[in-house]
Amino acid sequence: MAKYMFKRLGQTLIIIVIVSVLTFLLVSLMPKDPVYALYGTDITQEEYDVAFKQLNLDKPIPVRYLAWAGDVLHGDFGTSYRYHDDVLAVIGEKLGVTMYLCFASTIISFPIGILLGVITAVKRGKWQDSVLTMFANIISSIPSFVIAIVMLWIFCIKLGWLPSSGFTFPWDDFGEHIREIIMPLFCLSIGGIASVCRQTRSSMLEAIRQDYVRTARSKGLKEGFIIYKHVLRNGLVPIITMIGQRLAMMMGMTVFVENVFAIPGIGSLMVESVNNVDMPVLQACVMLSALIISLAYLFTDFLYVVVDPRISLS
Amino acid sequence: MSVQTLAPEEKSRQQIMREQRQRDIRRFFHTMFSRRIVIIGAVGTAFFLLIALFAPLIAPYDPNAVDILNKFAPMSAEHLLGTDIYGRDLFSRLVYGTRVSILTGVIATLMAAIIGCLLGMVASFYGGTVDKLLIAACDTFMAIPGTALAMALLSLLGGGMLNMAVILCITTIPGMLRMMRASSLSVMSTDYILAAKLSGENKLKIMIKHVLPNSISPIIVMATQSVGTSIMMESGLSFLGIGIKIPTASWGSIINEARPYLMTSPLYVLAPCICLALLIISLNLLGDGIRDAMDPSLRGA
């Protein structure tokens, strides 16, 4: 067990190091001159040379990478080309907003998705199954920004019930927070609900076919008890692996939802930094999201082993 | 006794194989269309494909012809869906946008499938260090969210249709590679591969002749689904204004351009949204049908 955990931890570290090399290369390969980007184009040649040395640009790429990685480990991601401020200060609260959205929608989508999945599996072939499965298929085919725009049109423009944009933390103004967050959370969660529902359905159907379920049935146990005790418990194991995957999807999808509802999160910041060629910020965003996702995958793997002792650790 | 009926042993081997193949193909289409909803998907996909193919014949106007005096015209006989902010015919732009979306999605998926297949087979065939390196590379790419990876690459390569296809291809390869590796690993351990190896056939020939045909079906299933995902991603990035850039008509860029006018002319925004949703739903329904027909054990999964 401990050996397995160390191995996975090691793998995660390696992945993070490779990601950091890639994101570092991203900046080094950019044709944009970092000195001009930071200090403007109207500086003298001497000032340019000083800055050039200061940014380690006179050294070969591996040396620069090590220097940069050292800074990153101390929490210094460099200076934003656009805001001329520390990158972490630019990111600041935005990471919190995005994480809040992602975690909230994960917490919403798993229980609902599992519940719907159980219904579709138990009522297999009946109308409840057909309707829910069809909805799940259709919903997961529609891009989240399309859902977001259609919702915006209906609830904000046509009905005028909800505000079109903005984000307030719940501890600042709870009522406002709920009004603002309903639509973004719905858009983020609906896809998750659909895919959790589909996965639950198929793994429940897999579990229902097992011999121990037939045995339980022939013992005369109540169907509800069998579903809860034998089918659900075993069918839920593959669902756990979806947590990491969903979080990764969510981190990707939040870009679109943040963009439509003008929520100041990492997604909006990334779009802005791509448009302004603000490489240090983009670099930090990619690094941080990769870090969060790797940790989520690691956590899911550990959880998987804890929940299902049958999994071999080799 | 008629002349045509031949005893089984008198039929040539090739003939038997041909008949077998025909029967397989018939069964494939029969299973595929046994669910009515798959037919809807197929019809929808065919509809959009035809639009993309015959765009110049269908579109009544040049998609980029500006008529500034006639902007935001309502629906009329001349302009089926009205005109946009520069007086361009919205219907024509949507028709041409179909082309961009489908082409980008298909090219990206094809490239990713080919590269993913090759690398996946290499990984499972050689094993050891090669395998470990390739898997580590996949894990790395999978740790970065697809959108973030695409955005980083976009800022490096720049937008445009071809770059977009390349970027979508890069984000799709890891999944394909892993799938091909897993599916070819199980083929590798079969007796006929061992026999081929022992008989001294060269590695390349074994891979192409024996491993590839027997392990490709999950890749085909994955590819049909990945066309939809790629189109979704392309339109998403174009919607953010960093993918396919204006003035090229892509559904995502039309939505992006139209967004500020959601209140005054909702059709301008909603029409491309509906097209996008319909195309991806059709593609996924068709993909489900293909998956069921290729591998009946996955049905309803």
> With an 8 Å Cβ cutoff, is B133 touching chain A?
no
> Closest Cα of chain B to A15: distance in Å?
5
Question: What pLDDT does residue B301 have?
Answer: 40
> Closest Cα of chain A to B250: distance in Å?
14
Measured between alpha carbons, how far is B155 from B146 in angstroms, rounded to an integer? 14
Of A43-47, A253-257, B164-168, B237-241, the poorest mean pLDDT is in A43-47
Question: What pLDDT does residue A179 have?
Answer: 80
End-to-end CA distance of chain B: 50
Rounded to an integer, what is the distance from CA A284 to the centroid of its chain? 16
Question: What pLDDT does residue B296 have?
Answer: 55
| Three-state DSSP class for residue A198 | helix
> Closest Cα of chain B to A269: distance in Å?
11
Average pLDDT over residues B265-277: 86
Contacts of A283 (CB under 8 A, 6+ apart): A23, A24, A26, A27, A77, A78
Q: How many CB atoms lie within 10 A of CB B298?
A: 13
Chain A residue numbers touching B149 (CB-CB < 8 A): 286
Do A201 and A137 form a contact (C-beta atoms < 8 A)?
no
| Three-state DSSP class for residue A172 | coil
* Total residues belonging to chain A: 314
pLDDT at A153 over 50: yes
Main-chain phi, psi angles of B89, to 5 degrees: -70, 120
SS (H, E, C) A278-298: CHHHHHHHHHHHHHHHHHHHH
Measured between alpha carbons, how far is A7 from A283 in angstroms, rounded to an integer? 27
Measured between alpha carbons, how far is A164 from A147 in angstroms, rounded to an integer? 14
User: Which structure tokens are listed for B295?
Assistant: 């591998």
Do A255 and A271 form a contact (C-beta atoms < 8 A)?
yes
Highest mean pLDDT among A109-113, A131-135, B54-58: A109-113
Question: What pLDDT does residue B114 have?
Answer: 93
> Closest Cα of chain A to B213: distance in Å?
28
> With an 8 Å Cβ cutoff, is A289 touching chain B?
yes
Chain B residue numbers touching A18 (CB-CB < 8 A): 136-137, 140
Main-chain phi, psi angles of B92, to 5 degrees: -60, -40
Average pLDDT over residues A56-76: 79
Task: Give residue for tokens 């249709």.
Answer: B161
- Interface pTM (ipTM) of the complex? 0.79
> Closest Cα of chain B to A287: distance in Å?
8
> With an 8 Å Cβ cutoff, is A241 touching chain B?
no
In chain B, pLDDT over 70 holds for what percent of residues?
89
In a mutagenesis test of the A interface, which of B45, B134, B144 is the best target, namely the one with the most A β-carbons within 10 Å? Answer: B144
Chain A residue numbers touching B301 (CB-CB < 8 A): 198, 202
How would you class B214 by CB atoms within 10 Å of its CB: exposed for 0-12, middle for 13-18, buried for 19 or more?
A: middle
Highest mean pLDDT among A174-183, A233-242, B45-54, B136-145: B45-54
> Closest Cα of chain B to A267: distance in Å?
9
Q: Which of B267, B222, B279 is nearest to B83 (CA)?
A: B267
Question: What pLDDT does residue A160 have?
Answer: 74
pLDDT at A314 over 70: no
Do B73 and B87 form a contact (C-beta atoms < 8 A)?
yes
User: Which structure tokens are listed for A63?
Assistant: 């040396």
Contact B139 A149 (CB under 8 A): no
Contact B276 A146 (CB under 8 A): yes
Which residue is closest to B154 within chain A, CA to CA?
A274
Measured between alpha carbons, how far is B114 from A78 in angstroms, rounded to an integer? 39
Dihedral of the alpha carbons of A158, A164, A170, A175, in degrees to the nearest 10:
-30
pLDDT at B164 over 60: yes
Contact A137 B284 (CB under 8 A): yes
Question: What pLDDT does residue A228 have?
Answer: 79
Q: Superfamily for A94-267? A: MetI-like (1.10.3720.10)
Interval A243-289: pLDDT, tens: 888 888 888 888 888 888 888 888 888 888 888 878 888 888 888 88
Do B64 and B95 form a contact (C-beta atoms < 8 A)?
no
Question: Between B151, B228, B284, which is nearest A270 by CB?
Answer: B151
Q: What is the full DSSP assignment across B262-298?
A: TTT-HHHHHHHHHHHHHHHHHHHHHHHHHHHHH-GGG
Measured between alpha carbons, how far is A300 from A240 in angstroms, rounded to an integer? 7
Do B41 and B285 form a contact (C-beta atoms < 8 A)?
yes
In a mutagenesis test of the B interface, which of A141, A200, A269 is the best target, namely the one with the most B β-carbons within 10 Å? Answer: A141
In chain B, pLDDT over 90 holds for what percent of residues?
10
Contacts of A173 (CB under 8 A, 6+ apart): none
How would you class A40 by CB atoms within 10 Å of its CB: exposed for 0-12, middle for 13-18, buried for 19 or more?
A: exposed
Average pLDDT over residues B64-88: 70
User: Which structure tokens are listed for A238?
Assistant: 């593959």
At residue B113 the predicted structure's pLDDT band, cuts being 50, 70 and 90, is very high
Contacts of A276 (CB under 8 A, 6+ apart): A81, A82
User: Which structure tokens are listed for A125?
Assistant: 């072939």
How many helices (H) does chain B have, and how many strands (E)?
Answer: 13, 0
pLDDT at B110 over 90: yes
Average pLDDT over residues A48-56: 72
Contact B152 A23 (CB under 8 A): yes
Q: Which of B109, B67, B73, B63 is nearest to B86 (CA)?
A: B67
Average pLDDT over residues A295-312: 76
How open is the CA angle A95-A244-A170, to the nearest 5 degrees? 40
CB proximity under 8 Å: A 178-207 to B: 198, 201-202, 205
Question: What pLDDT does residue B297 have?
Answer: 54
In a mutagenesis test of the A interface, which of B38, B101, B155 is the best target, namely the one with the most A β-carbons within 10 Å? Answer: B155
Question: Between B139, B149, B269, which is nearest A149 by CB?
Answer: B269
The ranges assigned to domains in chain B are 63-274
At residue A89 the predicted structure's pLDDT band, cuts being 50, 70 and 90, is confident
SS (H, E, C) A200-262: HHHHHHHHHCCHHHHHHHHCCCCHHHHHHHHHHHHHCHHHHHHHHHHHHHHHHHHHHHHHHCC
Do A264 and A97 form a contact (C-beta atoms < 8 A)?
yes
Highest mean pLDDT among B110-119, B126-135, B248-257: B110-119
User: Which structure tokens are listed for A313?
Assistant: 């650790």
Chain A / chain B CB contacts < 8 angstroms: 130
Measured between alpha carbons, how far is A286 from A143 in angstroms, rounded to an integer? 22
> With an 8 Å Cβ cutoff, is B149 touching chain A?
yes
Measured between alpha carbons, how far is A174 from A262 in angstroms, rounded to an integer? 19
Q: What is the full DSSP assignment across A28-53?
A: HH-SS-HHHHHH-S---HHHHHHHHH
Do B167 and B109 form a contact (C-beta atoms < 8 A)?
no
Q: How many CB atoms lie within 10 A of CB B67?
A: 14
Contact B280 A205 (CB under 8 A): no
Measured between alpha carbons, how far is B105 from B164 in angstroms, rounded to an integer? 9
Measured between alpha carbons, how far is B218 from B184 in angstroms, rounded to an integer? 10
pLDDT at B299 over 70: no
Question: What pLDDT does residue B267 have?
Answer: 82
Chain A residue numbers touching B35 (CB-CB < 8 A): none
User: Which structure tokens are listed for B94?
Assistant: 């949507």
Amino acid in the structure at residue B24? D
Main-chain phi, psi angles of B12, to 5 degrees: -75, 155
Of A257-266, A268-277, B69-78, B259-268, the poorest mean pLDDT is in B69-78
What are the angstrom distances between the C-alpha of A253 and each of A247, A280, B252? 10, 22, 15
pLDDT at B300 over 70: no
CATH of B63-274, one of 1.10.3720.10, 3.40.50.261, 1.10.150.120, 1.10.275.10: 1.10.3720.10
Do B229 and B171 form a contact (C-beta atoms < 8 A)?
no
Measured between alpha carbons, how far is B31 from B294 in angstroms, rounded to an integer? 9
Average pLDDT over residues B17-36: 80
SS (H, E, C) B229-267: HHHHHHHHHHHCCCCCCCCCCCHHHHHHHHHHHCCCCHH
> Closest Cα of chain B to A81: distance in Å?
14
Contact A293 B146 (CB under 8 A): no
Of A140-149, A195-204, A238-247, B40-49, the poorest mean pLDDT is in A238-247
> Closest Cα of chain B to A93: distance in Å?
19
pTM for the predicted model, two decimal places: 0.82
pLDDT at B112 over 90: yes
> With an 8 Å Cβ cutoff, is A299 touching chain B?
no
Peptide bond into B247 cis (omega under 30): yes
Question: What pLDDT does residue B77 have?
Answer: 65
